[in-house]
Homo-oligomer: A and B are copies of this chain.
Amino acid sequence: MSARVTTTKPTGPTGLRETKKRETRQLISDRATGLFIEQGFERTTIAEIADAARVAKKTVTNYFPHKEDLALDHQDEFVAGLAHAVAARESGESALAALRRAFLSAVAAQDPVAGFAGPEFTRMVTESPTLSTCLRGLHDQREDALAEALAGATGATGDDITPRTAAALLGGVHRVLFRRIQDLTLAGRTNPEIAAVLAEEATRAFGLLEPALADYARA
């Protein structure tokens, strides 16, 4: 048991093997996104990607168990975002205020996680049923994680639906605003234009929830 401590490097695995692994993974991912943007997600086969990266088909599915994984990156970050915003809220700040602040800050930074992913990527996602379904699933996981964070923050029991209801409302607003950014992106607006529109609309949308959740999960 203790032998492991001496043999493994706890921090930086900088061996040739790890390097090549990262390179191979990156190469596959790059070729895949190129093909996806060029000819669409559904019309690109895994065999094509394998050929383009000059590896075996099995190597592709080893690194990326599902085809969607080749297109949607930073999934964990996206899923954990709202829960993290609540966990990191300032003292005296409500969950609503923290989530509004996090969204407005993401808009100001034109964060891809908030929906600023560029026209090509956005088109790729919205044109593919598979990717749209996957994205919806991520929104759902994000809402679940938020509900758990809210339950923890308010000390609610597992039988109380209040955290899940609040998470549905707050996550719902986030989801609507995400889609709004997508729509404006597809309509050809630039990121700064979109950010300007969204700042106002987000304030209004979160404001709708103010009377319902003003004091909910206040730190």
Contacts and interface: CB of A to CB of B under 8 A. Distances in A.
A87 interface: no
A51 to B, nearest CB: 29
A158 to B, nearest CB: 10
A168 B164 contact: no
Contact of A169 (B140, B161, B172): B172
A10 interface: no
B161 A165 contact: no
Q: Which of A136, A172, A179 has the most CB of B within 10 A?
A: A172
Instruction: Specify how many copies of this chain sit in the oligomer.
Output: 2
A165 B212 contact: no
Interface in A69-105: none
Given A161-B176, A161-B180, A165-B173, 15 more contacts: A136-B136, A136-B137, A161-B201, A161-B205, A164-B179, A165-B176, A168-B173, A168-B175, A169-B172, A169-B208, A172-B172, A208-B212, A208-B213, A211-B211, A211-B212
A213 B179 CA distance: 22
Interface of A: 133, 136-137, 140, 161, 164-165, 168-169, 171-173, 175-177, 179-180, 201, 205, 208-209, 211-213
A147 to B, nearest CB: 9
Closest 6 CB pairs of A and B: A168-B172, A211-B211, A172-B172, A208-B212, A168-B176, A165-B205
A145 to B, nearest CB: 15
A168 B212 CA distance: 15
A60 to B, nearest CB: 22
26 contacts: A136-B136, A136-B137, A161-B176, A161-B177, A161-B180, A161-B205, A164-B176, A164-B180, A165-B172, A165-B173, A165-B176, A165-B208, A168-B172, A168-B173, A168-B175, A168-B176, A169-B172, A169-B208, A169-B209, A171-B172, A172-B172, A208-B212, A209-B212, A211-B211, A211-B212, A212-B212
Contacts of A175: 168
A209 B211 CA distance: 9
